[in-house]
Amino acid sequence: MQLEFTKMHGLGNDFIVFEAPRDGRLPTPVQWRALSARHTGIGFDQALILEPPRRDGTQVFYRIFNADGGEVEQCGNGARCLASFLHLRGTKPANGGDVLLLDSPAGLIRARVHDANLISVDMGTPNFEPKSLPFDASAEAHIYPLAVAGTEVEIGAVSMGNPHAVLTVSSVASAPVDRLGPAIERHPRFPNRVNVGFMEIVDRTHIRLRVFERGVGETQACGTGACAAVAVGRRHGRLDPTVEVELPGGKLEITWHGNSEHIWMKGPAAVSFTGRVEILNL
In DSSP terms, 52 is beta-bridged to: none
Identify the active-site residue in 11, 42, 75, 230. Answer: 75
- 155: Cβ–Cβ under 8 A, 6 or more apart, which residues? 143, 144, 146, 165, 166, 167, 184
Q: Active site includes 222?
A: yes
Helix (H) or strand (E) holding 225: helix 223-235
Task: Supply the angle between the helices 76-88 and 223-235 in degrees, to the nearest 10.
Answer: 130
**Omega within 30 of 0 (cis) for the link into 134:** yes
- Separation of alpha carbons 228 and 109, rounded Å: 16
Nearest to 160 by CA among 190, 188, 123, 185: 123
* H helices, E strands: number in the chain: 4, 18
Q: Which one of 42, 222, 239, 247 is the catalytic residue? A: 222
Phi, psi of 83 (to 5 degrees): -60, -40
- Note if 227 is an active site residue: no
Neighbours of 280 (CB within 10 A): 8
Strand, coil or helix: 129:
coil
Show which residues are catalytic: 75, 222
